[in-house]
Each structure stands twice: as structure tokens, then as C-alpha cells.
A and B are shown apart, each in its own frame.
Chain A
Amino acid sequence: MEAVFAILVGLFFAAGIYLMLSRHIIRILLGVVLFGNAVNLLIFTNGRIIREVPPIIAEGLDVPAGAVANPLPQALILTAIVISFCFFCFLLVLAYRAYQEIGTDDTDSMRVAEPVDDGLPPMGY
């Protein structure tokens, strides 16, 4: 099961990075989402994937009897999902505003902050 997930995580990473290499903001954002979910799945796989046994320590024992899924990575993912979701919402709005203001979603032509014809500073006076 972990091996399948490892391959899936790899595919997610590949697709995410491929999309982030695009010049268009909307593709970059989709890439960011895939990238974030790849990390979540990665941490999820880290904590063993076992559905059958609940991670509860039996009476009189100090550690679980057999192999169980570690709940801590799942708690970490919950935090990461919340954070990446709110970041993605922010980025979507930001990208839409950028499209409204600048009139393009092509990063090559987004040169308002760094104009192409900036020129050199005065060389003397």
C-alpha cells in the first residue's frame, strides 16, 4: 500500500512542478495545489497506512501490540491542509485581481513592478 502511495506522491509532485513551470498564473496555481496535496499525501504515507487496527493502546500495555497507523502525521496534515487551503484562496483572489489590474495572466508580460525600460541611474551631474 505504501509503495502505491509513494508512486502516487511522485506523480503528484511531477505534475505539480510541470504546471508551476508554466508562464500562466492559473496553471501555476493549479500546480501549487497539486504540490501541496503531494506533501500532504507524503506525510500521510509516512505514518503507515493501516486501516484495520485502530491506534488505541490496550489496557495494561504501554505501546500498541501490533503495527498501527501513527495518528500524529494525520494531525500534522490537518494543520497543513487548513493552511494550504487558505493560502490557495488568497492566491486565487490575488491572481484574479492581478488579471483585472494588469490585464494578463502571462507572467512574462507582468512587468509593472519591474519595468523593462527602467534605464540606468544618472551617471553624473
Chain B
Amino acid sequence: MAVQGEIVDKAAAMVAGPIAAADWLVIAPVVLPIIAGAVLLMIRHSIRWHAVLALAVLVAMVGANGLLLQRVLATGTVSMTMGSWLPPFGISFTADVLGAAFSLTASVVALVCCAYSLRDIDANGRRYGFYPFLLLMMAGVSGAFLTGDMFNLYVWFEVFLISSFGLLILGSDKAQIDGATKYAILNLVGTTLFLIATGYLYGTFGTLNMADLATQVRQIGEAAPLMTLATLYLLAFGMKAAAFPLNFWLPASYHTPPVITGALFGGLLTKVGIYALLRTLVMIFAAERLVLAGLIGWVAVATMLIGALGALAQSDIRRIAGFLVISGVGIMLAGIALGSDAGLSGAIFYALHSMLALSALYLLGGLMRQRGGSFSLHSLSGLYGASPLLAALAFIISLAVAGLPPGSGLWPKVMLVRASLDIGAWQIAAAILLSGFLATIALGRVFILAFWRVEASGDKTAAAGAMSVSGCCALAVLVLAMLAMGVLPEPFIRISTAAASGLLDASAYVHAVFPAGSGS
């Protein structure tokens, strides 16, 4: 233990004063959905209350996350340790700019998806617990973004993983069960690898508190197997984030459930893997990341190109979106490979953009299905004439996902390309530009075939219907947010830069957890 061999003041291990009311804000985004999820399970037979309650709780979550981000930006990292134990003995929840910004964006996406689901999820889906699963998954995602403890991070991973299994098989048709089997086994292996690394981590350091780890890793010396730990974390979180060559579970499963589930997964879950990579490799194992940078760089290049090429070869909109999720993961990995201030801010900005844009792409697929009766490019046609509004939304979403102005994908890619050219990593810059070009072709083809083509050659089996108002409003909100990111990028760049510098120099994070500056 950290305090071994010294005189310890046992009374100091208990926090003397009560916790200030404002500090409870740190766990509010986790507590709200857990309690609401439990309540929904208790009233599982009164399904008409489910959607209303879930919507209200998600609004409250967005509010709590907004206040938290505002507080973190104003006063610096906020930390709270459970059970009145002093860190590193208690489990800390620590919100820095990175965690708060990710958590806020994730809750916005969840709120929008919940609004979209009002018509999409039928009574059967509600009876089998779509809304409790949604809220518990959000609890896991927010917990992962806000926790300051490695083992606690593992627990939150499992919380959102088991909820995502529930969402994935809701409806249980053949394709869903097939996709869920692959998703479940590979993700379980991924989190087990995470647990192996965490076991070794505790054996090496005797602590699991991230701030404590960030301090001790600089003092522990050469003998510790830090390289093994960093590589295991890269493998585990790379699997979670669907980085090449560990990406095959994603396109096998994300297109099988209702689009709303695909939108939640594609928007949020891979970003949790990226977040965990940022936390472990950049903040804790900074020196080891430098050694792995070349490998991560080539993995990023391969992930970007495999994703974009895969998107080109698909005819189902949801599968195109799945491959574009993978391509985006490569772009964020490129920022981690660069490791510079500019590269990391680019990656963080891209993650915020990608949560909105990929969810929007899945939701767009859902609306196209409602209007045109199919997900397949073989039978979709004439949507431009049928719904100019949907065509406008689709156009902006395509620009944003491909990284063209005025969409939100442009600025993070500019930051990343410039950061990679600054250090002479031409292959990363070339891959970012090439994958953007391929994504433009893939989405341009969707637009040409589904919107501009007058009549499809294939037979139209499903009947076309009207789009749901809640779905259109939800998608419009996401599109407006993406336009705001693209047209007025300054506040987002400022937040991303603050988040990146908080990772590169962990002293503010450590100081928030150990106010005395002792750090054990």
C-alpha cells in the first residue's frame, strides 16, 4: 500500500466535513438513470409511463451534465470520493473537462434517440424493457466517463455492456440473435482482457485510483511491467472501440437491432473505448504510449481505410453507417497516435462530433425506411421528391460525416491533418484525407440512389409510409447541433484543447483528487 511504513493518522483517512451540495453534481448523471431504471423495472407493467419517465430523466441528465461541464470549465476538475474515505482508499468520481464534455454529448444523443424512439419502439419493445435498458446503459456510459478509479471503470463497462445485450436482442429475430452472439462473446473477451490488465495494475501499483496511478507511474522505476500493462489496455480498449483488426464484431451486429439501438451504439459505445484509451494511454502510461505510437498510427490508418472501403461495398444504409463508425474510430486513434496537444484536441473534438453525426446517420436510415419502405439502396428511390425536408437533413448529415464544410467533421479533421503534418506523419494525414474522400463517395451514392433516382429497378415490397414527427424533430435537433459545431467551432475547440491539456498534464487532475498535494 501507498502508506506502508509511515506513521499514518487514521483519523485523516476519514473526510471530516460533510460533502458540499455542489459536489453531488459529479455523480448526478449516474445516479439519475440508475434510480429511474430501477423504478421503470418496478413499474414494468404500466408501459405507458416508461417513455415519459425516461424522457424526463434524460432531460434532467442533460441538465446535470451541462451544469457539471460549466462548473468544470469555471473552477477546474471536480472530485468526490465515496463513503467519506480519503482517496486513494475510497472510490473517487472525478470529472475533468474531457469526462464532462463526453458525458454531456452522450446524454444529448441519448435524449434525442429517446425522442426518436417514441414511435419507433412498439408496445412489445416497451414491455420487454427498452427504456430501462436505455437508462441503465446511459448510467454505465456516464459512469465510465466520470469515474476516477480503474476497477470502477471496469464495473461501468460491464453495466453498459449487459444493458446493450438487452437492447441488441430486443425483438429477437434471427439476424439479431446471430449478431448478438458475436457481439456478446467478443465484447466479453474484450472486457475480460481489461480485467486482466487491471489485476496486473493492482499487483504492480497497489492502487486503482487514476490520479494516484498518474502520480506513481512516474516514480515506479524501470522494473515494473508498464509496457505489458499499456499493451494490454490498448488491446482491450481497441477491441471495445472496434479498431482494426479487432473490428469485425461491429458490422456483424450493429445493423441487426432497430435503428434506434444502432444509433445509440454507433454514437456512444465505441467512444467509451476511445475515452478509456485516452485516459489510460495518454494520462497514465504517457511514456509507454510514446513507444506504441508507431503501432497505434498504423492501426489508425488501417482502421480508417478498412472502414471507408467497407462502407463503399454495402447496400444497406445501416451497414454503411456501421463501417463509417469504424472509419471514425481510426481518425480518433490517429489523434492518440500523434499524442501532441493539437492531435489530441482534434481527436477529442472528432469524438464529440462523431457521437452526434453517427447517431444522426442511423436515425436518418430509420426515417428513410419509414418514408421509402426499405433500408436497401436497391429498392430506395425518389425520396427527394417525396420529402425535401428529409433530403436537406440527409445532405447536411452526409457533409458532416464525410468531413466537408459546413458540417461538424471538418474542423477536427483540419486539426488532425495539421498536427500529423507538423510531426511529419504523412501516412496519417493521407489516410484521413483518403478516408474522407471514400466516405464522401459512399454517402454521395446513398444520396444519388435513394434521393435523386426516380424509380428503382428492384421490386418494391414494403409499403412507403409517413415519417414520424418526433423522429423528424429529433433528427433536426442533431443536424442543428452539427451545423453549430461546424459554423461556430471556437467553443468546441476551446473545450477540446482544455480537455487535451488536462490529459497531457495530469497535475490539475491529481490536485483535484488529492487537495493537499501529497498524492500519497
Contact = CB atoms under 8 A, between A and B. Distances in A.
Interface string A84-125: 101100110011011001100001001111100011111001
B490 interface: no
Contacts of A8: none
A84 B255 CA distance: 26
A113 B175 contact: yes
B188 interface: yes
B398 to A, nearest CB: 15
Given A39-B196, A62-B10, A102-B174, A46 B181 contact: no
Interface residues of A, number: 42
A14 interface: no
Contacts of A76: 151, 199, 202
Interface in B179-237: 179-182, 184-185, 188-189, 192, 195-196, 199-200, 202-203
A57 to B, nearest CB: 10
B178 A122 contact: no
B124 interface: no
Given A83-B158, A90-B165, A113-B175, A73 B181 contact: no
Nearest to A93: B169
B195 A118 contact: no
B449 interface: yes
A92 B188 CA distance: 13
A113 B202 contact: no
B5 A63 contact: yes
Contact of A95 (B174, B181, B188, B256): B181
A121 B202 CA distance: 50
A122 B185 contact: no
A30 B182 CA distance: 15
Contacts of B196: 39, 42
Contacts, number: 118
A35 B195 CA distance: 11
Contact of B202 (A20, A72, A84, A102): A72
Interface majority SS (helix, strand, loop, mixed), chain B: helix
A90 B180 CA distance: 11
A15 interface: no
B310 to A, nearest CB: 11
Contact of A121 (B5, B165, B315): B315
B314 A101 contact: no
Contact of A62 (B7, B169, B182): B7
Nearest to A38: B196
B440 to A, nearest CB: 15
B307 interface: no
A34 to B, nearest CB: 11
Contact of B457 (A72, A98, A121, A125): A125
A46 B315 contact: no
A36 B192 contact: yes
Nearest to A111: B178
A45 B449 CA distance: 60
A101 B174 contact: yes
A35 B101 CA distance: 35
B502 interface: no
A105 to B, nearest CB: 10
A121 B177 contact: no
Given A35-B189, A94-B180, A119-B315, A63 B4 contact: yes
A69 interface: no
B280 interface: no
Contacts of B378: 121-122
A46 B4 contact: no
B377 interface: yes
A32 B315 contact: no
Contact of A91 (B184, B252, B448): B184
A75 to B, nearest CB: 9
A39 B199 contact: yes
B460 interface: no
Given A39-B195, A122-B315, A87 B188 contact: yes
Given A25-B181, A39-B199, 15 more contacts: A32-B192, A35-B189, A42-B196, A43-B199, A63-B3, A73-B202, A80-B195, A86-B162, A90-B184, A91-B185, A91-B188, A98-B178, A101-B177, A121-B314, A122-B457
Interface of A: 20, 25, 28-29, 32, 35-36, 39, 42-43, 46, 62-63, 72-73, 76, 79-80, 83-84, 86-87, 90-91, 94-95, 97-98, 101-102, 107, 110-114, 118-122, 125
8 contacts: A39-B195, A42-B199, A43-B199, A43-B202, A80-B195, A101-B177, A112-B174, A122-B449
